[in-house]
Amino acid sequence: MRTKKSLLFFLFQFAAIFTFAQSLSLSGLTLNYQSNPIGIDTAGIRFGWKIKTDLRQTMQKSYEIKLAHSQNDLLNNKNLIWNTGKVNSDQSTHVVYNGPKLKDRQRYFWQVKITDEKKNSSAWSEVQFFETGMLNNTNWTADWIESAMATDGKVGPAPIFARQFEVIKNIKSARLYITSHGLYEATINGKRVGDQYFTPGWTSYHKRLQYQTYDVTSLLKSGNNETFVTVGDGWYRGNLEFKGKRNTYGKEVGLLYQLEVIHADGSVTTINSDGSWKVSFDGPVKKSDIYNGETFNALLVKTATNLKSSSWKTVKVADYSKDNLVAPVGPAVSKHENISPVKIFKTPKGEMVADFGQNMVGWVKLKLHGNKGDTVTINHAEVLDQQGNFYTDNLRAAKQENKYILTGGKEDILEPHFTFQGFRYVKISGYKTPMDKDDLTGIAIYSDMKPTGEFTSSNPLINQLQSNIQWGQKGNFLDVPTDCPQRDERLGWTGDAQVFFNTAAFNMDVSGFFSKWLLDLSVDQHDNGNVPVVIPDCRAKANAGSAGWGDVATIIPYNYYQAYGDKDLLARQFNSMKAWVGYIKSISKENLWNSGPHYGDWLFYTMADDRDGKAALTDKFLIAQIFYAASTQNVIDAARALGKNDEVSIYESRLKDIKNAFMREYVTPSGRLVSSSQTAYVLALNFDMLPEDLRSQAAARLAENVASYKNHLTTGFLGTPYLCHVLTRFGYTDVAYKLLLQETYPSWLYPVKKGATTIWERWDGIKPDGSFQATSMNSFNHYAYGAIGDWMYKTVAGINIDPKSPGYKKILIAPQPGGDFKHASAKFESLYGEISSAWKTNGDKFTLDVSIPANTTATVMLPASENAAIMEGGNEADGLKYLKKLKSPSKNKSFELGSGKYHFEYTLNKTSR
C-alpha cells in the first residue's frame, strides 16, 4: 500500500514538473537574423532564439545547440557535425558557430534547447535549417552572357535569354544560382522563379554584386524543360540620378545562370548560361526604366516563348570577373499590402483618376477589358493641385508612366516588372470601358522587413503621424534607404538614413537591410576615408564629406549595436568608422573642421524677405565641428565595446581637443553660441559639446527660442531628430509636447492636417494657401522628419535601451505623460521577444501595463512622486520581493524587475501630475 502511495505521489510530482517545464519553449529561431535561409555565406554564422514562458523572472541558465547534415541524424543524435554540449550562458542572441568548416552548397539542420535559472528545461526546438551558397567563386561554372547585338546603352526592349534542356534521371532537388547586369525575372516551364522583385538588388555593382539562390525543385519535370530570363535596365544601365543620366555601371545587360539538379542517385546535372543560349528582343517588355516606367505589349507574351521564331539569336559570352559575387545578407524586395481605390473620379480637366487614399510605393495591378491593340496609359502622382487636377510637376524628369497594349481577350491582367512608382493617385488614359474600383489594385512593394513596432495614443492626429512615418519607411526602404521614391532621384542619401535609423529600427526589423547597405558604404568609402553622400555611390564623388552625411559611417554602426547588440557588425565597420574620423582630422586645422562642402541643417525653416533674422540659419562649420566630435565619440564607444582600450585612449584625447576648439571658436564665455538657432543649441547639447556648468543655460536658451517662434520648430534634417530628446533631457518635456502637438506650419502635424499620409520632404510641401513649394525639390514621401518617432516610442510610451546592455538585454521603461494624452502605448518585438508599455489616466488614477520578455531584466520608472502608493497586481509594490525598489535621481518611483507582465497603478496627486 505504501509502495502504491509512493508511486502515485511520484507520478503526481512528475506530471506537475512536466507541466511546469512545458511552459518553457523556444520560438523565433534565426540564423544571421534570417529564418531558414538558403544560399548564405558562412562567414560569421550566428544563432538566435526567443524564450516563451508564462513564468515571471525567467533567465536562461544554459543552452545546447546541435547541427547535422540530415534531419533524421539530428533527431536521433547521430553523425552530428557540431554539438556545443551544455554551455552555461544566458546568451540567446548572436551565438557564434565555431564548429568544423561548412561545405559549399549544402543544407544543414539545427536545434537548440535551454534551461533556466529555476532548473526548468525546454524541449528541443523545432528543427531549423540553413543552406550554404557559393562559398568559393571558383564553383561558378556558368558564363556571363549578353546579346551579340550591342545597344550601346540606348533605351530599348528588355532582352529575353532562353534555353531548353532535358532532365533524364529522377530529381531529388534543384537549386538555381542567378544574377544579372540589370534586373532579372526568371521562369522555368512557364512558372515564375521565386517571389522576389528587383533582383539582384542595388549594390555597388563592380565591387559587390549579389546573386540569389532558389529552390526550384517543384518547377522542374522529367524530360524536356525550358527556362526564360527577361532582363530589364534597372539601376545598372537605366536612368539614375538626375538629368537623364544613364549607363552608370555598364551599357549592356547580361545574365549569369547556374542551375544544379541533384538526382536520386547522387549525380548532378548542371545547366549553365553559355554560348548555347538564345536571346530575343521581341518580348513583351518594350521599355523598362525605374524612373520613367514600363511599356508592356501583352500581345507578345505567347510569341516570346516560341524558340523556333527567327527573332531568337545566339548569345555572346562575356568576360566578367566573378570575384565581386556575394550572397545577400539583407531581405529581398517583395509584395506586401494590396490597396483598393477609395474612389474613381473625373478631374476638372476631365481626366479619369483613381485615388488609393494612401501615398504608397509599388505599382497598380490592372484587370482590363478592351480591343486587341488598345493602349492604356497609367500615370502616377502623389497629390492633386489646388483645382483638384492631377499634379506631376514635382516629379521633375521622371515620367512614372506605364503603358499596356491589350490582347483583346476576355480579360488582360497586367502589372509592370522592372519599375516602381510613388503615388496616391493614378490617371488612366486610353481605356474605353467604364472602370470599376475592382479593376485596380495598388500593390505596395518594399524590402521584406518584419514589422516590429507599434505606437498608438489617445490623439488621432498623432496616430496618423505614426502611420505616415511607417508608410514613409516602407516606401523608401526598397533595397536601399532612398530619400524619395517618385522623382528622378531615389538615391541612398546618407544623411537621411542616419537621422532616421533609430525610428526605423523601432518600426521594422532593419538588421539585414542596414547590414547589407553598410557593406556598400564600406566599399564605396574613398581611400582617404571620405564618405560619399549617396550609397551606393553613383554621383561621381560629388559633395562627398558633408557633415551629418558622411557621419553615417559612425552613427548607424553604433546605433545598430545599441539596437541589436551586434558586436560583430560593430567590429566589421570599425575600420570604416575610424577612417571617416581620420579623414576629418586630415583636413582640419587646429582641430577645427572648417572646410569642405556641407549641406548644413538641410531644409531648415526660412522666411522670404527676412529682415529680423527669424530664418533659422545655423553656421555650417559649427555643425561640422559638432559632428566631428559626435563621430569621434562613436569611435570611442565602439572601441570600448570591442575591448580596444588603446584606441579608447587615443580618441578620448582627440575628442578633448575637438571640444576645446569648438568652445574657442563658437561659444562666448557666457555660453551663447555664434548661431542662435534651435539646431545649434540642440546639437551642442545632444552631443555634450558644452561643459556641464553651461548646459542648463543653453537648454533655457533653446526653450526660449521655441517660445519665440510660438511653439514651432525651425530645425532641418540634422536638428530635428534630437530636438525633443534634448528638451526632455534638460527638463523641458512640456515644451517637447507642445512642439509635437503643434498643428500649424512649421510642425509635424501641419502636413497631417493637410491630408498627408506619408512624411513630406519640406515642412510646407503644400503651403497654407494651398500652393506648392518649388517643383525642383518637393517630395511628399521623404522619411527624414519622421525621426520624431524615436522620441514617441522612448518618451511618450517609454521604451528605452539601457546603453550599458545593448540590444534590449536590459530595458528601461520610463514613460513621461504629457500633452493632455489620456493614454499611449507601444509594443516592440526585440531579439528577446515583445516589450510593451501602455499607460493611461482615468481621473486621478494612473495605470501602466508592461511586458518584459524572458532572459531580460528591466527598470521601470513610474512618473510618480516618492510618497505615491504604488500597487502592482493588486498588491503594494514596495513590499513585493520580485520588485527591487531603486533610488531614482528624478525622484520617480523606480523598480527593477524580471521578465513577465506587470500591472502598476496609483492615485495621482499634484506632485505626480
Residue 886 exposed, middle or buried by CB count within 10 Å (0-12, 13-18, 19+): middle
List, by residue number, the catalytic residues.
Answer: 489, 761
C-alpha span between 844 and 355 (Å, rounded): 45
- Report strand pairing: 333-339 vs 440-447: antiparallel
Could you give the maximum distance between any two Cα atoms of the chain, in Å? 102
Cell of 394: 514635382
Contact 777, 488 (CB under 8 A): no
What Rg do the C-alpha atoms of the chain give, in angstroms?
29
Helix (H, G, I), strand (E, B) or coil at 296: strand
The DSSP 8-state label assigned to residue 122 in this structure reads P
C-alpha span between 701 and 13 (Å, rounded): 67
Helix (H, G, I), strand (E, B) or coil at 518: helix
Four-CA torsion 881, 887, 891, 892, nearest 10 degrees: -30
Q: Which residues are 175's β-sheet partners?
A: 215, 260
Q: Classify the C-alpha dihedral 801-807-808-810 as positive or negative.
A: negative
Nearest to 503 by CA among 473, 462, 460, 545: 473
Residue 545 identity (one-letter amino acid)? G
C-beta atoms surrounding 887 within 10 Å: 7
Q: How many residues does the chain have?
A: 913
Residue keyed to cell 564629406: 545
Cell of 384: 492633386
Nearest to 617 by CA among 718, 524, 499, 688: 718
Contact 476, 361 (CB under 8 A): yes
Residue 286 φ/ψ region, left for φ over 0, alpha for ψ in the -120 to 50 degree band, beta for the rest: alpha
C-alpha span between 687 and 853 (Å, rounded): 32
Residue 487 identity (one-letter amino acid)? R
Helix (H, G, I), strand (E, B) or coil at 473: helix
Angle between helix axes 494-507 and 552-564 (nearest 10 degrees) is 10
> Measuring CA to CA, how many Å separate 282 from each of 145, 239, 303, 618?
18, 22, 8, 56
Cell of 805: 546592455
Contact 277, 161 (CB under 8 A): yes
C-alpha span between 60 and 95 (Å, rounded): 13
- Cα 642 to chain centroid distance, Å, stands at 25
Q: Is the peptide bond before 597 cis (omega within 30 degrees of 0)?
A: no
> Measuring CA to CA, how many Å separate 726 from each of 526, 615, 730?
34, 21, 6
HSE-up of residue 658 (Cα within 13 Å, Cβ side): 30
Contact 146, 237 (CB under 8 A): no
Listing DSSP states for 538-598 in one string gives -STTTTTT-TTTTTHHHHHHHHHHHHH--HHHHHHHHHHHHHHHHHHHHH-BTTB---S--
